[in-house]
Structure 1
Amino acid sequence: MILIGNGRMITRDPANPYYENGAVCVKGNVIVEAGDFIQLKGKYPEAEFLDAVGGVIMPGLINTHHHIYSAMARGMSIPGYAPKNFSQILEGLWWRLDRKLTLEQTSLSACATYLDCIRNGVTTVFDHHASYGSISGSLQTIAEAARRMGVRTCLCYEVSERDGEEKAKQAVKENFDFAEYAQSEGGDMLKAMMGLHASFTLSDQILEYIVSENKKGIGYHIHVAEGIADVEDSLKKYGIPVVKRLEDRNILGSKTLAVHCVHINEEEMDILRETETVVIHNPESNMGNAVGCPKVLDMYAKGVLLGLGTDGYTSDMMETMKTANVLHKHDTKDPGAAWGEVPEMLFANNARIAGRFFDTPLGVLRPGAAADIIVTDYIPLTPMTGENYNSHILFGMSGRSVVTTMIDGTILMKDRKLTQTDEEELLARSRVQAAGLWESIRGIDR
């Protein structure tokens, strides 16, 4: 039994949202009680005590769209690569990279990314993988990395016909094979989805094949109308916008993650709401790729369930929250915009989304919830209360404020020191593999 206490505590439990001096008691991999520190200290005197030292105790954060495979691109340059639009970014960078990834590089990308998540207090990750040079076994490779690092995760492989029908069907098989494994062996630490790249790289034939083979009804994880080319392709080939096409092909639903949705109209927003499809917003990626700003606040007002992800851009969900907050103020030219919607996306909706896939409640500190808990070193310079703690997070914290991370009842980082991983050795191996990957990618142009 572990007692984490002696700090301000944000529970995300509407019944008891905030404690000025709180504590949470963990037994095994679940929370048994959350409440006042002095009371719980007296009630559980035998518990191992982890001192928050006046910092902030919070539920672990959830990232609902990540790209582990992109990790080794950090710092890479490709001769002649000077993209002018999103299609050129995909073709000139990401599709080149994923065709060259080996399983060893995928493993190290996963370990390094999960390490970064632990450091930033992210305890659950929904990942969308691609490695068209090494398809078979790639999800199992990432799952092994997740288990080794101790991070809760939901995985899929992005099916695409960009390299032909045969590889697309290999990708479909990789998803289904992994889904069987996750169902039998993953417990509540490992889940699976069917990954789809995007409408413009998927024919009706492959979509019909996937749906017909999806006997167990696993959910879909797909990029939707991220770039304008996706919309133009759907209108030209099928005479309908992307969301309508996906609805007609039976892709939408309560366990589908529609990522981005930058270029959709009001009718498509209504379809997303009516089908209970989840939309994942990735503000840094949308800005960095210059694809536009999705009408997130309009979707929110319509009742679409919106989550927050990073699209591989970062593993710092607090940074992503800050970016989303200012992006929608800038886009709407309204300084009052997004104050409530963006924190709800990160702290409430991401937990609701995770609840559609994982059995144990996540993103909350209350009895019966998963023991996914973080502690930050933030000490407020102004009064912190149950009414203003989101403002303190927004303006006072970042992912690197996290000093302690517990996932599934195991302390993976304490006082900023990784407890289960040799960080120096892992990152040294990652650098060697990244250098090899870069040379391999550059060799395409020779």
Structure 2
Amino acid sequence: MLLIGNGYLVSRDEKQPFLQDGCVAIEKDTIMAIGPTAHLKTQHPSATFIDAKKGLIMPGLINTHNHIYSAFARGASLGGPPPRNFLDILEHTWWKLDRHLTLEDTRYSAYWTYLDCIKNGVTTIFDHHASYGEITDSLFAISDVANELGLRTCLCYEVSDRDGQDKMKRAVKENEAFIKASQNHPMQKGLMGLHASFTLSDATLDYCRSHLPKGSGYHIHVAEGIEDVYDSLKKYGKRVLHRLFDQDILGPHTIAGHCIHITPDEMDLLKETDTVVVHNPESNMGNAVGAPPVLELFKRGILIGLGTDGYTNDLFESLKVANILQKHHTCNPAVAWEEIPTMLFEYNPKIVSRFFTKSVGVLKPGYAADVIVADYIPQTPLNTHTLNGHLLFGLNGRFVTTTIANGKVLMKDRQILIADEERLMAKSRQLAQALWNRV
């Protein structure tokens, strides 16, 4: 038995959302009880106790769209002219990088990303991978690292026509193999990854569909740049989501990342098909592609989560940026107070429930034992009504001191317990430099 107590407990359970001096009781991989610290310590006197030291005790965070393969881009100068648009960014940065990634590069990109997630209190990660330098077994390399470090993850490989038909088919095969291999894995799942409409022909989508294992779905970028829309209109005479609907790509097990340049009737398609949308605020701003209609999607009852697109692993940072982006975009300071926290703390767990058996995102008996502790001493009253204001304005990922995933303590008092971080990062730096030299 493991107890985490002596802190402000934020359960995200409507029946018991907040305890001033709360405690979580964990047995193996499952939450058994929550309650006052003294009460649970009395009930379980022999349990191991982690002292939250008056900080916040919360469910582990969830990132519903990430890019592990981007890890080695930090600090890189890959040459070429300054980007003028989104396509330039893809061609001169991301596609140039992923064409040179080896399996070892992918493995160590996963080490860094997952360790950074642990440091930021993220215990579940949906990743969208690309490594056209070495495709086969790339998802399994990431999977091995996730297994080693103890995180929950949903993986896919980015199918695209951009490097020819042979590599496209190898990418589909990698997805198919991993989806089948992870079907009975309690902590891992697979999807058919698709890049975006403008790099996928109808024939390729047919090929993906014919190789999709039963019960699985897709993870695709949708109308991230306006170029995606123009391409679809020019080639197929329809907008992106209409094309994907006609190709039977949309549905409750499909994640549509970004959805920036979409129309009301495309929103109707998302709603009717129950397709998941994921917003990635920092990435959208950094790539200068625009702001998606997040508030309208939310208003229409579309399940929309929050991701980072590889820009950061700090979901508290994304919470802040998503909030102010919608205020800036709508020129209305009154918006996004409710919607953005709901996306992170309520809708992201709902997205996880579509792919994994065990429920996450709530400190409640029977749920997965994903728990984090943040070193935060409030300067104003902290309660159910003020909580989201404290999270929005008071925290970032580095406030997290302890991270527990599926009942396993991965970090305690800011010390990584499940890996030799210094050794892994030294090797990572060597591989990154070698990659930059090749590029």
Q: Does the pair score TM above 0.5? A: yes
Residues 179, 213 of structure 2: 8 Å contact kept: no
Return the alpha-carbon distance in structure 1 between the equivalents of residues 242 and 142 of structure 2: 33
Mark the runs of 5 or more structure 2 residues left unpaired by the alignment.
none
Residue aligned with 1:156, SS: strand
Matched position secondary structure for 1:369: coil
Q: What displacement does 1:421 show?
A: 1.0
1:257 aligned residue:
255
CA contact (8 A) 2:176 2:213 kept: no
Show the counterpart of 2:47: 47
Q: Residue type of the partner of 2:249?
A: I
Cα deviation digits, residues 286-319 of structure 1 (max 9, x gap): 0000000111101111111100000000000000
Query: How many Å separate the matches in 1 of 2:264 and 2:79?
Result: 41
1:22-421 to structure 2, matched below 5 A, reads 22-184=22-184, 187-421=185-419
Q: Please state if 1:11 is matched with 2:11.
A: yes
**3-state SS of 2:311 partner:** coil
So what's the TM-score if we normalise by structure 2? 0.99
By how many angstroms is 1:38 displaced? 1.8
Deviations 1:98-136 (A, max 9, x none): 000000010000010000000000000000000011000
Deviations 1:195-218 (A, max 9, x none): 000000000011112112224131
CA separation of 1:81 and 1:108: change in aligned 2, threshold 3 A: farther
Distance 1:31 1:315 in 2: 25
CA distance in 2, matches of 1:181, 1:314: 29
Deviations 1:16-37 (A, max 9, x none): 1110110000000110001221
Distance 1:182 1:372 in 2: 20
CA distance in 1, matches of 2:81, 2:420: 35
Q: Pick which of 40-49 and 98-107 moved more.
A: 40-49
Q: Which ranges of structure 1 fall in alignment gaps of 5 or more residues?
A: 442-446
Q: Deviation of residue 166 (structure 1)?
A: 1.4
Q: Which amino acid aligns with 2:116?
A: D
Which one-letter code corresponds to 1:183 in the other structure? Answer: Q
Aligned length: 439
Identity %: 57
Residue equivalent to 1:422: 420
SS of 2:268's partner is helix
Greater alpha carbon shift after TM alignment, 88-97 vs 213-222: 213-222
- Secondary structure of 1:132's partner? coil
Q: What residue identity is the alignment partner of 2:327?
A: K
User: How large is the RMSD of aligned CA atoms in angstroms?
Assistant: 0.7
**1:46 Cα offset (Å):** 1.5
Deviation at 1:188, TM superposition (A): 1.4
Give, in whole Å, the separation in 2 of the partners of 1:398 and 1:94: 27
How has the CA–CA distance of structure 1 residues 215 and 78 changed in structure 2, closer, same or farther, with 3 Å as cutoff?
Answer: closer
Return the offset for 1:39: 1.4
Aligned partner letter, 1:205: A
Equivalent residue letter for 1:409:
G
Distance 2:192 2:113 in 1: 21
| CA positional deviation for 1:40 | 1.2
Whole-Å separation in 2 of the counterparts to 1:285 and 1:266: 23
**Structure 1 counterpart of 2:299, one-letter code:** A
Q: The residue matched to 1:128 in structure 2 has which SS?
A: strand
1:381-439 C-alpha deviation (Å, 9 max, x unpaired): 00001111111111111000000000111101000001111111111000000000001
- TM-superposed CA distance for 1:148, in Å, is 1.3
Partner amino acid, structure 2, of 1:113? T
CA distance in 2 between counterparts of 1:189 and 1:111 reads: 17
**Structure 2 CA distance for aligned equivalents of residues 79 and 36 of structure 1:** 57
Q: Which one-letter code corresponds to 1:321 in the other structure?
A: L
Offset at residue 81 of structure 1 (A): 3.6
The alignment partner of 2:99 has SS state of helix
TM-score (norm 1): 0.98
Runs of 4+ in 1 over 3 A off after TM superposition: none
Q: Which amino acid aligns with 2:332?
A: D
Report the CA distance between 1:170 and its aligned residue: 0.7
Aligned letter for 2:45? P
| Counterpart residue type for residue 186 of structure 2 | D
